[in-house]
């Protein structure tokens, strides 16, 4: 379905949020995965601007052309998460005009089944469409959408989730700092934060030795001295597994360095990759020239 697809495509740059400008561990309810993108920080940083320009060309341009939503002017943060029972939630927070809200509703109304509902006096819409090549398992051809909260676009997989968001000004009630809360990494200027519980992906048919040895995984892309700082933190099932995974990472870097096609400038940065193991926790971090990262992505 088109609207759900447009919301989810924004996260294909990260691992497939509490809905704040900055995420803390205590902000997250029990979740299977989360992703949070801070566009304000990206636009304000020299390193982040390179990443933002790539996003603008690859993702936001399509949104402007197809639904008239200008993320460059109207979107500040984009957050997605999937709770254990309720499915996927996407919240875009920004400074939306009334015209933008009308355009989004008009696009949603093109679905084969479109119903207007209310909760606590706030309107939301149930959208059902025929399956197509872009449909996501996260929404199963049915989504709920609302622009009733000021400067927020809400998309959920269930009616119950939408009711919770509308009743709590875009926040999901639940266990925010205990069992089930995922790792949240922080930097001076956060651009992208993401995390996942690999066990929750068993039903998707993923089969990986790394995932089987991993209990939680978190990713952070931030700014440091005009470079993009990328940090991954992984909690393994034990210290032995963490050391094995560290050896895998070192081996992959060694193989890459032997490739005739490896960019020498990129390899100079990759050779500075820090790999640390502390008990069952593996931390991998690197700082990259943003232009080199964009070239690698392309």
| Strand order across the 274-278 sheet | 113-119, 122-128, 142-146, 152-156, 87-94, 75-83, 31-38, 190-196, 214-224, 227-236, 281-288, 274-278
Q: What fold is seen in the domain 190-297?
A: top7, de novo designed protein (3.30.1710)
pLDDT above 50 (res 97): yes
| Segment 263-282, tens digit of pLDDT | 777 787 788 899 999 999 99
- For the chain, give the longest Cα–Cα distance: 63
- When pLDDT is cut at 50, 70 and 90, the band that residue 285 belongs to is very high
CA nearest neighbour of 75 among 25, 41, 29, 33: 41
Predicted local confidence at residue 132, as pLDDT: 56
* Domain residue spans of the chain: 2-16+39-167, 190-297
Predicted local confidence at residue 3, as pLDDT: 46
pLDDT above 50 (res 137): no
- When pLDDT is cut at 50, 70 and 90, the band that residue 19 belongs to is very low
| Segment 210-231, tens digit of pLDDT | 777 788 999 999 998 889 999 9
Give the lowest-confidence range in 154-168, 245-259, 274-288: 245-259
176 and 26 Cβ atoms separated by less than 8 Å: yes
Identify which has the larger pLDDT, 202 or 231. 231
Identify which has the larger pLDDT, 70 or 246. 246
CA nearest neighbour of 70 among 34, 39, 36, 28: 39
CA nearest neighbour of 10 among 73, 77, 65: 77
Residue 73 structure tokens = 């002017």
What percent of the chain is modeled with pLDDT above 70?
A: 80
Residue 182: DSSP 8-state? P
CA nearest neighbour of 35 among 16, 22, 55: 16
pLDDT above 50 (res 72): yes
278 and 243 Cβ atoms separated by less than 8 Å: no
Q: How many CB atoms lie under 10 A from the CB of residue 234?
A: 25
Average pLDDT, the chain: 81
Q: How far is CA 255 from CA 108, 118, 245, 259, 267, in A?
A: 48, 57, 15, 7, 11
| Segment 45-56, tens digit of pLDDT | 988 998 899 888
Give the three-state DSSP class for 34. strand
């Amino acid at each position: 379905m088109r609207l759900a697809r447009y919301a989810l495509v924004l996260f294909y740059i990260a691992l497939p949020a509490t809905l704040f400008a900055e995420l803390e561990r205590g902000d997250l309810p029990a979740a299977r995965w989360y992703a949070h993108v801070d566009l304000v920080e990206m636009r304000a940083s020299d390193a982040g601007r390179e990443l933002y320009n790539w996003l603008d060309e690859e993702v936001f341009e399509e949104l402007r052309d197809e639904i008239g939503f200008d993320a460059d002017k109207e979107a500040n943060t984009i957050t997605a998460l999937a709770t254990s029972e309720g499915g996927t939630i996407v919240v875009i927070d920004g400074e939306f005009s009334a015209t933008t809200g009308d355009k989004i509703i008009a696009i949603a109304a093109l679905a084969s089944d479109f119903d207007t509902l209310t909760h606590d006096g706030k309107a939301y819409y149930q959208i059902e469409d025929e399956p197509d090549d872009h449909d996501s398992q996260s929404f199963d051809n049915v989504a709920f959408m609302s622009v009733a909260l000021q400067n927020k676009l809400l998309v959920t997989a269930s009616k119950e989730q939408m009711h919770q968001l509308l009743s709590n000004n875009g926040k999901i009630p639940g266990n925010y700092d205990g069992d089930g809360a995922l790792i949240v990494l922080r930097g001076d200027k956060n651009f992208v934060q993401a995390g996942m519980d690999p066990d929750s992906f068993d039903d998707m048919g993923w089969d990986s030795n790394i995932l089987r040895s991993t209990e939680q995984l978190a990713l952070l892309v931030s700014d440091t001295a005009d470079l993009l700082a990328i940090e991954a933190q992984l909690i393994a099932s034990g210290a032995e597994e963490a050391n094995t995974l560290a050896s895998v990472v070192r081996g992959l870097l060694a193989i890459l360095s032997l490739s005739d096609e490896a960019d020498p400038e990129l390899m100079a940065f990759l050779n500075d990759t820090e790999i640390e193991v502390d008990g069952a926790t593996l931390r991998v971090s690197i700082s990259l020239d943003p232009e080199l990262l964009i070239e690698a992505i392309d």
